[in-house]
Amino acid sequence: MKRSALLRLSLLAAGACLGTGLATAAPFYRLESATVLPSESPDWDYVTLDAAHSRLFIGRRGDGVAVFDTHANTLLRTLDDSAEGNAIVLAAPFKRGYTVNEDGTSTVFDLDTLKTIERLKLGDAADSGVFEPVTAQVVVTMSDSQEIRFVDAKSGKPGATLKMTSKKFDGLAADGAGNVFIAQRDRGSVAKIDARTRTLAAEWPIAGCEQPTGLAYDAGNRRVFVGCRGAKPVLAVLDAAAGKVVATHEIGRGNDGVVYDAGTRRVYTANGVDANVVIFDQVDADSYRLAEATTTRPYARTMALDPATRKLYLVTAEGTVDPSKAVNRGPAPFYPNRYHAGTFVVLTYAPR
């Protein structure tokens, strides 16, 4: 065969590879490790990553707050006096962490030593929280009393409370400019809180969004990302200046976690019922396209992202529906109300 014919065949073969994506395929997320943590009665909610110390804080409720070493894939310890820990807020400038406990308290601990400093009483019950850097406050949601509580992040001193209408708060995000956004699941809206004045600055109904849950913020484009858990689950994108929906995209059922990575301009949604992480590329402030939808494990619904390694951390356990107990049918008809001992697991996903 002549050299020119061989060259043509080589070019055709190369083109075929490119056409099937073999030569240009981007790395997709795959399970890197699954580490089981001891637990007699697994239950959990939020996870928070301290990337500077390679530590994942896990709100394990009855078991307290677990601290997981993401480099060694081992349990470092459970924070002292952190029973009923549901969420974890990091106030890095003051080297302090604040757990949000379901009984309305907060366990304050040292970020370097992980030693507990004190346990504060904030109210009768609490859900989650976020650190607001401009006012140096920890903002805590308390659905049962329909209040927002403000705590001085440096001293740990509880401050004012803000009465709200919502009876079911969910995800929070600070915009870095003195405001905090809160998903209000029962009202189908997002509340904007002015942390300086400790007042409700705005409340925005979200068109096409039922049961807003997970929430994240893009400071560069001033966009709020909301995971909507309703009958037709979507990611809703809001203009943070006008409070208007600029885009919606289908996601999996059972959303609880939403993360925005400014470095890659990607939005991640963790969806526990459908056991997937649905990821979108941000084309511009108002345009998004599907990057991938990766299978995880059932009921892995909350999530943290390491912005340096791009690794994702999720947690879950093996569960069942016990007919003798109350069943939460909100996320799905047979959502587990009991989890089996010895099955709680930390899942690490990496682009590979």
Calpha distance 33→23 (Å, rounded): 27
Indicate whether 52 pLDDT > 50.
Answer: yes
Longest dimension (CA), the chain: 84
Q: CA 253: distance to chain centroid?
A: 15
- pTM (2 decimals)? 0.92
Indicate whether 202 pLDDT > 80.
Answer: yes
Indicate whether 349 pLDDT > 90.
Answer: yes
If asked whether residues 121 and 205 sit together in one domain, one would say no
Calpha distance 149→192 (Å, rounded): 14
Specify the pLDDT at position 331.
87
If asked whether residues 116 and 144 sit together in one domain, one would say yes
Specify the pLDDT at position 26.
74
Residue with tokens 């108002």: 286
Q: Which two tokens stand for residue 298?
A: 């059932």
Mean pLDDT for the stretch of residues 46-61:
98
pLDDT digits (tens, 9 = 90+) for 22-42: 444 679 999 999 999 999 989
Specify the pLDDT at position 25.
61
Calpha distance 125→169 (Å, rounded): 12
Residue 8 domain-assigned (yes or no): no
Residue with tokens 């003051």: 94
What's the CATH number where 158 sits?
2.130.10.10
Q: Which two tokens stand for residue 256?
A: 């609880």
If asked whether residues 293 and 183 sit together in one domain, one would say yes
Mean pLDDT for the stretch of residues 80-105:
98
Residue 18 domain-assigned (yes or no): no
Specify the pLDDT at position 126.
98
Query: Of the ranges 58-72, 223-237, 327-341, which one carries the lowest mean pLDDT score?
Result: 327-341
Count: domains in the chain: 2
If asked whether residues 245 and 270 sit together in one domain, one would say yes
Residue 229 domain-assigned (yes or no): yes
Indicate whether 335 pLDDT > 60.
Answer: yes
